Amino acid sequence: MRIIAGIGRGLPLNVPRGTNTRPTSDRVREAVFSSLGARVVDAVVLDLFAGTGALGLEAASRGAKAVTFVENDRNALVCLQKNIQSFSRQPGMECKLEVIRADVFTQVRWFAGRQFNLIFADPPYGKLPQELLDAPDLPALLATDGAFVLESAKRDPLVLPAVWTLVRDAIYGDTRVSVFKK
């Protein structure tokens, strides 16, 4: 695991032991960020179920203005903090990085009034991707021209609520990456 491009290119990322955290692979992150292109520059980013912080740190490395990470797992938080500390020492690092230890669904309600250009979510595979799509407070957090990037298992069925429009859907092995707008 490493940061792929930008000021942190090649920086290795700490990954917790066990199966509770499933970091987004380099291949998937490269595809996601290639599709987002210049949208990342100066973006305000929310990384839900942040785990190692790979998605948010990749955004920061590519020019995001601010990244807020939300994670609740203690082991993942230890790795996330180490990864942020390493990344923060990169020359030219100007991105504001914030870590919030909380349940994602509770925290989304607390973010009322904040706006994000990019929202990344990599919840545990299974039931949570649909719960996230159905979360009533999440769409209000996305800026009008923003993108919501959801990672899920290829086999997880997703029923699209009316508030979201599917912009892109791609499969990488067992991983599905869906990009939505409001």
| Domain containing residue 133: CATH number | 3.40.50.150
CA–CA distance, 175 with 29 (Å, rounded to integer): 11
Instruction: Name 151's bridge partners.
Output: 177
144 residue type, one letter:
T
Per-residue pLDDT at 127 = 65
Q: Phi and psi (nearest 5°) for 17?
A: -75, 160
Q: Is residue 5 part of a domain?
A: no
Against a cut of 0.85, is the pTM above it? Answer: yes
Q: What is the mean pLDDT of each run of 10 residues along the chain (182 residues)?
A: 91 78 78 93 97 96 97 93 94 93 93 94 81 92 96 88 93 92 93
Q: Is residue 7 part of a domain?
A: no
Q: Is residue 100 part of a domain?
A: yes
Q: Is residue 62 part of a domain?
A: yes
Q: Is residue 172 part of a domain?
A: yes
